[in-house]
């Protein structure tokens, strides 16, 4: 399993809505699934500057990289940058 986690601070709600509405079509070819979307309730330790989080599951790192580098997703990045500050991080499940 491979996860991409986005920590988000929305700057323009209308642009963010436009971006969010287009992302699912970019995920489908990579067998990706939106696992979670939510807002920060409390920071229990350390610091966290963003208000929202999204978690997307991919079958593997290759699929996550393929999605991110795809022409379809790359075309959305300017809209994402205008809409929000986003830290997007890719994680692989740790082996025991």
CATH of the domain at 9: 3.30.70.100
Classify 26 as helix, strand or coil. helix
Domain count for the chain: 1
How far is 36 from 34, CA to CA, in rounded Å? Answer: 6
Please count the other Cβ atoms lying within 10 Å of the Cβ belonging to residue 76: 18
**pLDDT by position in tens, the chain (length 96):** 899 999 999 999 999 999 999 999 999 999 999 999 999 999 999 999 999 999 999 999 999 999 999 999 999 999 999 999 999 999 998 776
Edge-to-edge order in the sheet of strand 52-58: 33-39, 52-58, 2-10, 84-92
Domain enclosing residue 79, as ranges = 2-43+50-92
């Amino acid at each position: 399993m491979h996860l991409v986690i986005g920590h988000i601070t929305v700057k323009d709600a209308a642009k963010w809505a436009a971006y969010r509405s287009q992302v699912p079509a970019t995920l489908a070819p990579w067998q990706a699934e939106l696992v979670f979307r939510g807002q920060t309730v409390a920071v229990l330790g350390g610091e966290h500057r963003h208000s929202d989080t999204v978690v997307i599951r991919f079958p593997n790192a290759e699929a996550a990289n393929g999605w991110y580098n795809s022409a379809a997703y790359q075309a959305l990045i300017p809209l994402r940058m205008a809409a929000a500050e986003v830290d997007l991080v890719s994680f692989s499940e740790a082996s025991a």
